[in-house]
Amino acid sequence: MKKILLASALTLSLISTATLANEETAIGGPGDPGKVSRTVEITAVDNRFNPSEIDVKEGETIKFRLKNAGRKKHEMIIGTPEEIDEHGRMMKKFPDMEHADEPNVVTVEPGKTGELIWHFAKAGTVDFACPLPGHFKGMKAPGMKGTIKVEAK
């Protein structure tokens, strides 16, 4: 019975997370690799992102290249504070959850590099974070997180 409940909860969480990731956020959505405007290099270490503040322009499609210079696995998720907090809660319950179908998340093992491509359709601010347990304690607490400011055309 416990296995069925756990499998059901995991399936529901993956469906809701994948649905969120496939819908455009208020600022943008998954980008077309053929329309990348530029690449932004981000380094993840075991307690922060460098840089943690990124400026882009409305209409840009950015390839984020995440290099893991730490000793632990890291992720980068782009979303609203609510989406990131929810994803962090799910990662706490299911720390080995995979994100293969989520265009707003990249997972990178120590010493490796991963990429995430995002199109910024509207001006405003969007957040990013590493929602893995121990790396992230919520958008209002210290931890691995950052901000992307999208400047109007």
DSSP track, 15-82: HHHHHHHHS--SSEEEPPGGG--EEEEEEEETTEEESSEEEEETT-EEEEEEEE-SSS-EEEEEE-HH
Among 23, 20, 28, 22, CA closest to 149: 28
Q: What pLDDT, in 10s, does the model give residues 51-68?
A: 999 999 999 999 999 999
Domain 2-151 has CATH 2.60.40.420: yes
Reading the block at residue 71, the tokens are: 């000793």
Please give the model's pTM, rounded to 2 decimal places. Answer: 0.79
Q: What are the extents of the domains in the chain?
A: 2-151
What pLDDT does 52 receive?
A: 95
Residues 6 or more apart whose CB falls under 8 angstroms from that of 69 comprise 43, 44, 45, 111
Q: Is the pLDDT of residue 77 over 60?
A: yes
d(CA 92, CA 143): 15
